Structure 1
Amino acid sequence: MSQSFSHINSHGDAHMVDVSNKPITMREARAESFVLMNTETINMIIEGKHYKGDVFATARIAGIQAAKKTWELIPLCHPLLLSKIEVNIDADLVNQRVRIESICRLNGQTGVEMEAMVASSVAALTIYDMCKAVQKDMVITQVRLLNKTGGKSGDFRANN
């Protein structure tokens, strides 16, 4: 099946898609990322003993701010008036990792998948930045879209 790319015009040049004729619909996207780290590092964060302060609160704010600035970071993304940005962070001691899940929502003419993935990514980078003095070999992994609703392409849900 042949599929055209919406961000390429008839001359083969990259351009921002014109969404002015698209209907306004509710759109939502959820994304996740993980930061793999030692149990000692996770415990330091959970117990509030990190000398830089509340790592999760700082990462949450960073993710929210990043979602708002996605259009400045990713070429051809539209500036969006997001009505909801949520960043949830959970420590998983069994798997020695921190899971970050972001949710972005708006009533608009284009999707919020990139905003959700940027939020999760920047929250993970912030955790790394705040903890790198304690552990340099942390790994940020599995940044992915979990699901999205709304828009012409319909709904999407990742397989586990």
Structure 2
Amino acid sequence: MNQLNHFDETGQAHMVNVGNKPETHRVARATGAIRMHPATLKLILEGGSKKGDVLGIARIASIQASKRTAELIPLCHPIQLSHVSVEFTPDEANAVIECVVTAISQGRTGVEMEALCAVSVGMLTIYDMCKAVDRGMVISGIRLIEKQGGKSGQWHMNETQNVEGIVAEPL
């Protein structure tokens, strides 16, 4: 396992110096899900929320979060995003909405944190908009599923193992 790169040789936290790294095309995809009561999902899909278009607002919140990640995560670099897409997929049989965010940049550092932050805020926005009818919603499975670019190249979740040695599978 590599050393944690947000600590210097004395163990003090610092922002990683990316000034000498070449700019490359960077892509990151992250996912997460929110489980709810079936009636809540039905309300969302039929547009019955008093607060408006739940998934439309959650999509905008996700995009906004991706652009503000460096303000929320102390050692993240502010980066120029060239594209962010947010896809919500409802699963009526299981009363779940899955979110997949793709973040793209041309830069010196990856966009994994931007994708992960976007998924998190999208799920939280759905919760916020629907909590009046369902406080028992559960947000889960927020994780990186793919990354491209930079020194480490490509990475896909299904090719790695989690801490317990179990192959990590997307939702």
Q: Give the TM-score taking structure 1 as reference length.
A: 0.97
| Amino acid of the structure 2 residue aligned with 1:5 | L
Aligned to 1:156: 155
Q: Kindly state the Cα deviation for residue 6 of structure 1 after the two structures are TM-superposed.
A: 1.2
Are positions 1:16 and 2:15 aligned together?
A: yes
Stretches of 4+ aligned residues off by more than 2 angstroms: none
1:89 and 2:93 correspond? no
Partner of 2:131: 132
Mapped partners of 1:134, 1:150: distance in 2: 42
Once residues 62 and 2 of structure 2 are traced to their aligned partners in structure 1, the CA distance between those partners, rounded to angstroms, is 33
Secondary structure of 1:142's partner?
A: strand
Matched residues in 1 for 2:94 and 2:28: separation? Answer: 25
Matched, 1:52 2:38: no
- Could you tell me how far apart the structure 1 residues matched to 2:25 and 2:153 are? 12
Q: Does 36-45 or 3-12 show the bigger shift?
A: 3-12
How far did residue 33 of structure 1 move? 0.7
Query: d(CA) in 1 for partners of 2:109 and 2:64?
Result: 19
- TM-superposition CA deviations, 1:109-144 (whole Å, max 9, x none): 000001000000000000000000010000000000
TM, length-normalised to structure 2 = 0.91
> CA deviation digits over 1:21-74, x for unaligned, max 9?
001000000001100001111111111111110000000000000000100101
Q: Are 1:74 and 2:53 matched, yes or no? A: no
Code of the aligned partner of 2:75:
L
Aligned pair 1:111/2:110, yes or no? yes
Structure 1 distance, partners of 2:79, 2:59, is 19
Q: Secondary structure at the match of 1:83?
A: strand
Distance 2:107 2:94 in 1: 38
Q: How many residues align?
A: 159
State the superposition RMSD in angstroms: 0.8
> Unpaired runs of 5+ in structure 1?
none
Residues in 1 aligned to 2:2 and 2:131: alpha-carbon distance in whole angstroms = 43
